[in-house]
Amino acid sequence: MTTYMDIISIFILITSFALVASKKITSYIKAFRIQSALLAMALAVMGYFHFVESGRIDTLVLCALIIALKVVYFPKLLNKTYDRVEHKVEKDFFMNIPMLILLCSGIVIFVYFIISGIGSFGNEDVTMQVVNMVSVVLIGVFFMITRKKAIGQIVGFLVVENGIFGAVMFGAEGMPLIVDIGIFIDLITGILIMGLMVFKINDLFDSINTNKLRRLKG
Amino acid sequence: MSFIYLAVPLAAVVLSFLIKNRKAIYGVVILSSLITMLLTLWLTYVNVSGGGNGLVLTMGILYIDSFSIIVLDIITILGFFIHIYSAGYIERDYISGKIDEKQVKLYFILMNAFVFTMLVSVSVKNVGILWVAIEATTLASVFLVGFYNKRESLEAAWKYIIICSVGIALAFLGIVFLHLSSTGVIASPSQVLNFTDLTVLAKGLDSSVLKFAFIFILLGFGTKVGLAPMHTWLPAAHSQAPSPVSAMLSGVLLNSAMYGIIRTMTIVNVNLGSNVFTGRLMIFFGLLSIAIAAIVILTQKDYKSLLAYSSIEHMGVIALAAGFFTPASLFAALLHMINHSFTKSMLFLSTGNILQKYHTTNISRIKGILKVLPVSGTVFIVGLLAIAGTPPFGIFSCEWNILTAVFSGKHYIIGSVTAVLLAVVFAGIVHCVFKMFFGEPPSEVESGEDRIAGTAVIVVLLIIVAALGLFMPDAAINLLNNAQAIISGGVC
């Protein structure tokens, strides 16, 4: 079980590198979808054990929610948004990709040192999984600040969410169900609002490059 | 039954959605905000007259004590005034053709949803649900910020939702760590993330993980509070939103997020047995916010973003005072929260009157406010003096108390730096804004106050602000003392 979780958490980390390395909007939506699928796999196994051991089904419910939203619905929504607003491929990052990858590796090393510095979370295996997930969160934030397109920022936000969700699952084996449900409601509304705003930005600015949003400075 | 006040704004959301007639919507929302206010004032009365340890009510996940009641009262009292003001403001925008009937409906639906989410955030004892509610405040208010659908307002709304969502996501990571620090201590599932239980069990929590949790929670909720350097969304959102929404954001919302920070701070301080760790962080971010706001205010060209930076400054002052964590400084921090809310809402509402006359937020293009708007102009100038920290207003006495608490704790350098920065803010406000009031108004602006109700609201708020500075009833002092005892958790 632990080995399996370790491997999945490493794969989730790798997908966030794939995300940073991808050039086109469609390919990073794909990377996000793979990452969510991996998270769902981890949840499915954990949910199975929870069900067998104590008859709890909440983890399985969450797994189903993740598949429905993050694997199916959000990528579809983002692709649809992309089709409607963008007609040509533009360069979408401020730094070149090897540089970005190098900086992300730096992030992982940084997180490793910080978290091993504060002691362990019960046992060492969990610590490693938490390191991976916190790295995913910070890489997501990093991704958001290095991309120009509004859709890139939404994907970055979703990756941050994935990382946090992973940290909850691997580190704490879940939150109270009511909190989880609240988070999902917030997440759905948030993504819908952001998607709607991408259309509005496209209408008013004729582009979804957020570096054109720079009237309000100072 | 006592938690019925949560249902009233929800009912207002549904009714604003169903009712077709514009004027009927105004009536419904004003009535519902009045009922909400009366219900919470009744709870305050029950709390104050009951005395005791400050606990008001608890039921399942819902919970109110003296500290929550202070923030609750700020939300509902200002909510009532802002709704009265909004009705006139929105009606005028409608008549001038700026917005259509659908947008009027949308405005009140979102406004009441916004109030509801803020009420939830201070009426629960589960930190996870507190987080969900604070994230929901962003979602409810983002279209209010981008209400006019102009380029600038859309830009402000985009910044607002992206920066706050990411910030608050980091806060959630902090909450995950808070949960991790309590594994092994928690006895039953109902205690998970429960700040009342966590405060009781605080000694047993894992300190190193808890410290890590506090850093993330401070960064995350600090984004929503507008602490520098995570403040960049705040001036944009406050200057682009319609004035009543700015009043709501600045006067009310910032407190709800600050509430989240202070609640976790208590747990960490009880666990560590001192305020050294949290104090250093809070004082650092507080001072940085005051400093950045002071510098920017000196060169500000837009009066609404000047007020926004002033909010950053005052949130910095509150963070600083809370960071010192002595009974006196906590008391002053709470009082400052109340004073800042009322004064800042009054100021933003008066800018609404000015904006609808002059149609610009640019300071250099405005002259002769006192001639054009004798009442709102006077309220605005007096309010600016109050917010800058002139006696006899409440802000002055709070800042004085905070500085006294800092100096009596022998933190001379921090105290002097704060005093100098507050003086710079004062100079900046006087230097930038006061030229707006005098001189000849432009010829195309017609003079005279238009909206009686709106102007009456700001005058009433001015009276409240002035009264807060001069006199405090014993009941209010008891309430603040109870809240201070709850926050200190027995550490100081």
- What residue in B sits closest to A182 (Cα-Cα)? B132
Among chain A, residues having any CB pair with chain B shorter than 8 Å are 114-115, 118-119, 121-122, 130, 134, 137, 141, 144, 150, 153, 157, 160-161, 163-164, 167-168, 171-172, 175-176, 178-179, 182-183, 185-186, 189-190, 193-194, 197, 200-201, 204-205, 210, 213-216, 218
Q: Give CA B150 to chain center in angstroms.
A: 26
- What residue in B sits closest to A140 (Cα-Cα)? B166
pLDDT of residue B421: 95
Please state which of the ranges A19-28, A100-109, B333-342 shows the lowest mean pLDDT: A19-28
| Residue B337 reports pLDDT greater than 70 | yes
Per-residue confidence at A89, pLDDT binned at 50, 70, 90?
Answer: low
pLDDT of residue A120: 56
Report which of residues A119 and B8 the model is more confident about.
B8
Distance between CA atoms of residues B148 and B246, nearest Å:
13
Mean pLDDT of chain A: 84
Where in chain A are the domains? 2-212
Contacts of A213 in chain B (CB under 8 A): 155, 158-159
Q: Which residues of B181-191 are buried (b: 16+ CB within 10 A; e: fewer)?
A: bbbeebeeeeb
Please state which of the ranges A2-11, A75-84, B445-454 shows the lowest mean pLDDT: B445-454
Contacts of B180 in chain A (CB under 8 A): 121, 130, 171-172
Inter-CA distances, B355 with B38, B302, B358, Å: 31, 11, 5
The residue-averaged pLDDT of B176-199 equals 84
| Residue B16 reports pLDDT greater than 60 | yes
Contacts of A114 in chain B (CB under 8 A): 212
Please state which of the ranges A41-45, B242-246, B286-290, B432-436 shows the lowest mean pLDDT: B432-436
| Residue B191 reports pLDDT greater than 70 | yes
| Residue B8 reports pLDDT greater than 70 | yes
| Residue B422 reports pLDDT greater than 80 | yes
The shortest CB-CB distance from B166 to any of A157, A193, A201 is to A157
Minimum distance, in Å, between the CA of residue A206 and any CA atom of chain B? 11
Q: In this structure, which amino acid lies at residue B320?
A: L
- What residue in B sits closest to A162 (Cα-Cα)? B169
Distance between CA atoms of residues B465 and B386, nearest Å:
8
Contacts of A157 in chain B (CB under 8 A): 162, 165-166, 169
| Residue B149 reports pLDDT greater than 90 | no
Per-residue confidence at B114, pLDDT binned at 50, 70, 90?
Answer: very high
- Cβ separation A157–B169 shorter than 8 A: yes
| Residue B370 reports pLDDT greater than 70 | yes
Q: Which tens digits make up the pLDDT trace of B204-245? A: 888 888 998 999 999 999 999 999 889 999 999 999 999 999
- What residue in A sits closest to B159 (Cα-Cα)? A213
Minimum distance, in Å, between the CA of residue A28 and any CA atom of chain B? 18
pLDDT of residue B361: 86
Contacts of B212 in chain A (CB under 8 A): 114-115, 118
- Cβ separation A190–B165 shorter than 8 A: yes
Q: Which tens digits make up the pLDDT trace of B72-90? A: 999 999 999 999 999 999 9
Q: Is the complex ipTM higher than 0.85?
A: yes
pLDDT of residue B469: 84
| Residue A122 reports pLDDT greater than 60 | no
Residue with tokens 């803020």: B118
Contacts of A141 in chain B (CB under 8 A): 166, 170
Please state which of the ranges B172-181, B213-222, B332-341, B436-445 shows the lowest mean pLDDT: B436-445
Per-residue confidence at A214, pLDDT binned at 50, 70, 90?
Answer: low
Rg of chain B over CA atoms, in angstroms?
A: 21
The shortest CB-CB distance from B158 to any of A160, A172, A213 is to A213
Minimum distance, in Å, between the CA of residue B40 and any CA atom of chain A? 25
Q: What percent of chain A has pLDDT over 90?
A: 29
Global confidence as pTM = 0.93
| Residue A119 reports pLDDT greater than 70 | no
Contacts of A165 in chain B (CB under 8 A): none
Domain containing B156 equals: 2-488
Total number of domains in chain B: 1
Mean pLDDT of chain B: 90
Distance between CA atoms of residues B372 and B367, nearest Å:
9
Decide: A210 and A197 in contact? Cβ < 8 Å.
no
Q: What percent of chain B has pLDDT over 90?
A: 62
| Residue A106 reports pLDDT greater than 70 | yes
- Cβ separation A204–B154 shorter than 8 A: yes
The shortest CB-CB distance from B193 to any of A130, A137, A176 is to A176
- Cβ separation A176–B159 shorter than 8 A: no
Distance between CA atoms of residues B380 and B355, nearest Å:
12
With a CB cutoff of 8 Å and minimum separation 6, the contacts of B217 are B171, B174, B175, B178, B260, B261, B264
Neighbours of B35 (CB within 10 A): 18
| Residue A218 reports pLDDT greater than 60 | no
